[in-house]
Amino acid sequence: MCNLYSMTKGQQAIREIAKALRDTTGNLPPMPGIFPDYEAPIVRTGADGVRELALARWGMPSSQKALLDAATKRAEKRAAKGKPVEDFKALVRMEPDGGTTNVRNTSSKHWQRWLGPANRCLVPFTSFSEFNKAAGGDVWFAFGEERPLGFFAGIFVRDWTSVRKVREGEVTTDLFGFLTTQPSEPVASVHPKAMPVILTEPEELEIWMNGLWEDAKALQRALPANALTIVARGDRKDGPAETMGAREIGTG
């Protein structure tokens, strides 16, 4: 499961490759470490049909079953302390949902409502990490030491109301996540369960954004072996020296 990635290229490069005609992100700084539930840039089709670069919060809504299970456990703990829950529906509504960052099972009814072109997006990245303690902690993968711009196949939802953190209470925000698939090397040796779905050709970007689902679904596949390179180990952030400073890059 990928729960950490970086995006250190400028927004003009993103707009040009993804053909975004509008940019609502303001002054977008380099992001050497993007974590779950934080805002990050995505390319999506706007409500008016214009392709745009925008910010959204990483983590799609979790399933109702997951929230019910979590709320049930919370209610049981309260009951054990002699504080039974009087309004279980309200407890479920206020159950914190940090979001689901990665999507694998696209046959799930929970995800199917967001798989059409209106909810597909491109998630720009320059490297991503998979954690493996035996391999040194966070292991960073990119298309090369220069960390060229790439895109994950993502989905997003607009104006979703939920409780992300207890201290925030209910918030309404745009959310996103990206698809995963069977890993290829060198990711497979570090994290054998999954890797992000990465789009590598301009045609693939357009199919993902606008194509029929059977064509878009075919993109949920692993990259050819050794298309990616291990560019850093052990650090919680990754990026080129001009962005981070040599001490933070780690060893390749």
Per-residue pLDDT of 122-136, as tens digits, reads 999 999 999 998 888
Per-residue pLDDT of 208-230, as tens digits, reads 999 999 999 999 999 999 999 99
pTM tops 0.85: yes
The pLDDT-based confidence of 65 (bands split at 50, 70, 90) is confident
Q: How far is CA 90 from CA 62, 79, 121, 210, in A?
A: 17, 16, 32, 38
Dihedral angle over CA of 53, 13, 219, 51, nearest 10: 30
What is the CA 155 to chain-centroid distance, rounded? Answer: 9
**What is the second-level CATH architecture of the domain 5-62+97-248?**
Alpha-Beta Complex (3.90)
Q: Is the pLDDT of residue 250 over 50?
A: no
Where do the domains of the chain lie?
A: 5-62+97-248, 63-96
Cis amide leading into 240 (omega within 30): no
